[in-house]
Chain A
Amino acid sequence: DAGVIQSPRHEVTEMGQEVTLRCKPISGHNSLFWYRQTMMRGLELLIYFNNNVPIDDSGMPEDRFSAKMPNASFSTLKIQPSEPRDSAVYFCASTLWENTEAFFGQGTRLTVV
């Protein structure tokens, strides 16, 4: 398996634009996690899904953020409208089950100017 695949690797966008980050988990994994990493706050869990169902979205910063998992092989994290403070590296990770070892994607570095 190629591992967890995220796209794009880098994204630069203007404030107010919609941004969509994509994640393909490892085939057969049942849990998917979205994280954000900044210098100020470190790593934060935004949302996670079990069997495509959102379980905990308490980490999503505000209504501008939304995440979907339409099927077991694809998830999106959308920010609309984007703001400069959203600039961060966004990681996706998948696990076989909720409490097993996590495999991370390479991350998407988002810069909002």
Chain B
Amino acid sequence: KNEVEQSPQNLTAQEGEFITINCSYSVGISALHWLQQHPGGGIVSLFMLSSGKKKHGRLIATINIQEKHSSLHITASHPRDSAVYICAVRSDKLIFGTGTRLQVFP
């Protein structure tokens, strides 16, 4: 079993929909990262969380340390949000989830 599990693996949505991507982990962590990788390959760090919730524009990330779970929400999704979203946790090293491929259609 992977130490970091993401769901769903693939997600399609219509423009404007509210999207949730989940990340569960089984190790003790000091921080959790949400990354975005566009089809061109570049990786952008969206959030780094150690507790609570962070918001940046239409993106919201939450983490529940007790439940070892984090969610990434996208409000009013747009085709430009189409990308792979990767959850990564830092325990003694950085462990990556396998990613969630999101496609938003107009």
- A: which residues have CB within 8 A of B? 33, 42-45, 48, 56, 58-59, 89, 91, 93, 99-104, 106-107, 109
Q: Residue on A with the closest CB to B90? A: A99
List of A residues within 8 angstroms of B30 by Cβ: 99
Q: Chain A residues near B97 (CB, 8 Å)?
A: 42
Kindly identify which residue among B31, B88, B90 contacts A43, using a CB–CB cutoff of 8 Å: B88
Decide: A58 near B42, CB < 8 A? Known: A43-B86, A43-B88, A102-B33. Answer: no
Known pairs A43-B86, A101-B45, A104-B42; A59 contacts B93 (CB<8 A): yes
Chain B contact residues, CB within 8 Å of chain A: 30-31, 33, 35, 41-45, 47-48, 50, 86, 88, 90, 92-94, 96-99
Nearest-neighbour CB distance to chain A for B92, whole angstroms, equals 8
B99 touches A42 (CB 8 A): yes
Contacts of A43 in B (CB 8 A): 86, 88, 96
User: Chain A residue with minimal CB distance to B44?
Assistant: A104
State in angstroms the CA–CA spacing of A109 and B86 once bound together. 19
Which of the residues A56, A93, A109 comes within 8 Å of B93, measured between beta carbons?
A56
Report the Cα distance A103→B35, complex, angstroms.
10
Given A43-B88, A91-B43, A107-B41, does the pair A102, B96 have CB atoms closer than 8 Å?
A: no
Which residues of chain B have C-beta atoms less than 8 A from A91's C-beta?
Answer: 43
**Complex Cα gap A91–B37 (Å):** 12
A107 partner residues in chain B, CB cutoff 8 A: 41-43
Nearest CB in chain B: distance from A36 CB, A: 11
Extra A-B contacts (12), CB below 8 Å, given A42-B98, A104-B42: A33-B94, A42-B97, A44-B96, A56-B92, A99-B30, A99-B48, A99-B50, A101-B48, A104-B43, A104-B44, A106-B41, A107-B41
